[in-house]
Amino acid sequence: MGRPPTMRKSATIRDVAREAKVSIAAVSYALNGGGTIGEEVRARVREVAQQLGYRPNRSAQAVRTGKSMTLGLVLPDLNNPYYPALAQSFERAARQAGYTVVLIDTSGHVDEEVQGIRRLEQHGVEGVVWCQTAGPDEVVSSDYSVPIVVIGTPSLSVDNVTTKDYEGGQYLARHLVEMGHTRIGMLTAASVLPSKDDRRLGFIEALAGHATVMWEEKAPFAIDLPERIRAALERRDVSAVMCGNDLIAVGVLRAARQLGIQVPTELSVVGFDDIPWASIVEPELTTVRQPVSEMAAVALTLLLDRIAEPSRAVRHFKVGVELIKRQSVAEAPVSWGWRKIGRS
Amino acid sequence: MGRPPTMRKSATIRDVAREAKVSIAAVSYALNGGGTIGEEVRARVREVAQQLGYRPNRSAQAVRTGKSMTLGLVLPDLNNPYYPALAQSFERAARQAGYTVVLIDTSGHVDEEVQGIRRLEQHGVEGVVWCQTAGPDEVVSSDYSVPIVVIGTPSLSVDNVTTKDYEGGQYLARHLVEMGHTRIGMLTAASVLPSKDDRRLGFIEALAGHATVMWEEKAPFAIDLPERIRAALERRDVSAVMCGNDLIAVGVLRAARQLGIQVPTELSVVGFDDIPWASIVEPELTTVRQPVSEMAAVALTLLLDRIAEPSRAVRHFKVGVELIKRQSVAEAPVSWGWRKIGRS
DNA sequence: ATCGCCACATTAAACGTTTCACTAATTGAC
DNA sequence: GTCAATTAGTGAAACGTTTAATGTGGCGAT
């Protein structure tokens, strides 16, 4: 056992030049195109480079050209099931475009987000995609030396991609109304992000006249619900609960199970996001899908465009959402007899 | 709306030097320590640097020193719930150590793994952590110009960190035996990784004499189980199923529900890995926990050590695992009366 | 023969750092 | 007051590239 694998120093452009008996410049031109290099030389250089396993040193290229072919991705928390898909698509798309992705995961520490961007700047990334959890605008207004695209926060002054949260809220409301629900509880996400407000607003406005929200509570970002909310559930005065995101909805499912409330027969539950968990819980969650991969792709496009043309007008892209009907919603019970149990 | 945020060119060491009226070298020494720089100058330089928002250009540093302060992480699939935690801890620990992490997610394309490493090499990372899904050794034997630590595959010739899969298998077996199970089904993961064999072996050997495995099937890496396995489940000739990993176990839970088999009263299910899903499914999964974060940390240490001393002896680190008892295992039913339903 | 032109290849500067070798100025000992 | 020793700071090379500017021939036209 024991000996570490051999580790050849990687060949530099000099090595190739020497071996091919031409100048350094010739090698560069031959490999990258540009300049005027004859066919024989070009071929020879290619040959030698190949054989030496020469790969241009990106750092050196970066220093010389200012292009590092590197992009940064700032995420709040990979353990939040919402982000892996985003990270994956982004990395994949970026790689396809020739870029390499540097990852910063702040593990929920909001203050590290800006630090992270600083770090990325220093590393010479050409652009950053930022899934912002901090409050909107002001924090992005500190000027960075690198183009930034924000995902999820609709700031006016920065390129960003957001989802049609308002519409999503509407879809859920309409669906619940169609299913005959008239008394509804709301669990709003406790976050500073405006998306939660849009969802809420869309939901409420689409409900108007057809159903009433009996109560509304703020839920922290975790599956375990605070006692206050369990109590609300236990009152059993609603036939459906709208949750600000799927994580909360999963929490409700679990709480309902513990409280002996049947989902969806006694209580319908809807979420938002369509994270992977939504389809493995029992019952599977009816929710609104955010096209996460698409968002990542759009963010990349926006970013690449801005890198190419730094002074172009700011763009805001709003991607559509989709209602995913699964098993956590049923027709509202016609009789509310069981309600008496909870109500005095 | 419209105008993109101002984007100052970041200050270079020259700018600082000019502004502080000292030489470039002085700035470098003042900031990095080294050289002999007086207190007044040092202070002034610091001041100016701070005020100009100077951050040394990593690429330039990399070119000059050969140290890019960058590490690579090659993952098969972030959507696999096993990896986000790993990625997060690794990035976090690496950042703490001053390194920045470049991510490659091959989305399950095995052939991209080596390509990915090549790309990382080119980018000048100082080391790579590789969660290998390709077969063992031979693929790692092609010599890279950069130190590599493998997670999960116990190759002899490379630093690596693995888990005590064999012991984990034993834990599960003993637990099931304790709970009185004597007829057991096995669902092995269909992969080329040796870890699955160790789990299997540990399980089987610890079972010896106390219980018999009635059948064993290979399960693909997905929650939806193939018909063959559903059929096996439907035979109802076992009181417990051991699954090669949690994903499979979740699949079994779901299949059981569909087939009307009660877990854990009729069928006990155990998994392996303790991915986040394990604790949100119903019932919560009894499983063996892999200390993923710890593994990431260990991998980082191994890598950093090797970077510091490239010729040191290869190390293999095996981290311990832990049996997590939850709700998917119950005492084996004493009467097997219901078995007749399934059996002719 | 000379000129100009073309195709091809090379020289050298530059990117932002670090760091070695060196100079200038100050100190202390005699 | 001289000299060595110390201290503080500078100049310039080097890292691996790219690329503008400059050379070299050879060849056809004059």
Give the residue from chain A lying closest to B80, CA to CA.
Answer: A84
Assess contact for B211 and B242: CB atoms under 8 A. Answer: no
A282-309 pLDDT, tens per residue?
899 999 999 999 999 999 999 999 999 9
The C-alpha angle with vertex A306 and arms to A302 and A309, in degrees rounded to 5, equals 140
Share of chain B above pLDDT 90, in %: 76
Alpha-carbon distances of B317 from B162, B228, B291, rounded to whole Å: 6, 37, 13
pLDDT score, position B337: 44
Q: Would the pLDDT of B36 be above 70?
A: yes
Determine the straight-line distance between the first and last CA of chain A, rounded to whole angstroms.
75
| Nearest-angstrom CA–CA distance, B339 and B266 | 10
Assess contact for A60 and B63: CB atoms under 8 A. Answer: yes
| Nearest-angstrom CA–CA distance, A114 and A107 | 13
A81-113 pLDDT, tens per residue?
999 999 999 999 999 999 999 999 999 898 899
- In the structure, what pLDDT confidence band is assigned to residue A219 with cuts at 50, 70 and 90? very high
pLDDT score, position A226: 93
Buried-exposed string B122-140: b where 16+ CB fall within 10 A, e elsewhere: bbbbbbbbbbbbbebeebb
User: Which residues in chain A are contacts of B83 at CB distance < 8 A?
Assistant: 84
The answer to whether A16 CB sits below 7 Å from nucleic acid chain C is: no
- In the structure, what pLDDT confidence band is assigned to residue A9 with cuts at 50, 70 and 90? confident
More confident residue, A1 or B165: B165
B290-335 pLDDT, tens per residue?
999 999 999 999 999 999 998 899 999 999 999 999 999 999 887 5
Inspect the interface and report whether the beta carbons of B79 and A57 lie closer than 8 Å. no
Backbone angles phi, psi at A75, to 5 degrees: -120, 145
Residue B269, C-beta contacts closer than 8 angstroms, at least 6 positions apart: B240, B241, B243, B249, B252, B253, B256, B263, B285, B286, B328, B329
Query: Where are the strands (E) in B93-155, listed by range?
Result: 100-105, 127-131, 148-151
A100: which strand partners? A70
| Nearest-angstrom CA–CA distance, A331 and B209 | 53
Assess contact for A171 and A288: CB atoms under 8 A. Answer: yes
pLDDT score, position B344: 39
Give the residue from chain A lying closest to B127, CA to CA.
Answer: A7
pLDDT score, position B218: 94
Lowest mean pLDDT among A218-227, A310-319, B297-306: A218-227
pLDDT score, position A203: 97
As a whole number, the mean pLDDT across chain B is: 90
Footprint of strand D on the protein (CB under 7 A): A 12-14, 24-25, 28-29, 31-32, 34-35, 54-57, 60-61, 63-65; B 22-26, 29, 35-42, 60, 63-64
Most confident among A6-15, A68-77, B148-157 (mean pLDDT): A68-77
Inspect the interface and report whether the beta carbons of B156 and A276 lie closer than 8 Å. no
- In the structure, what pLDDT confidence band is assigned to residue B343 with cuts at 50, 70 and 90? very low
Assess contact for B158 and B149: CB atoms under 8 A. Answer: yes
pLDDT score, position A233: 94
Assess contact for A175 and A325: CB atoms under 8 A. Answer: yes
A161-171 pLDDT, tens per residue?
999 999 999 99
Q: How far is CA B320 from the centre of its chain?
A: 14
Q: Would the pLDDT of A138 be above 70?
A: no
- pTM score, two decimals? 0.91
pLDDT score, position A342: 40
Assess contact for B324 and B287: CB atoms under 8 A. Answer: yes
* Nearest in space to B174 (alpha carbons), one of B286, B264, B62, B318: B286
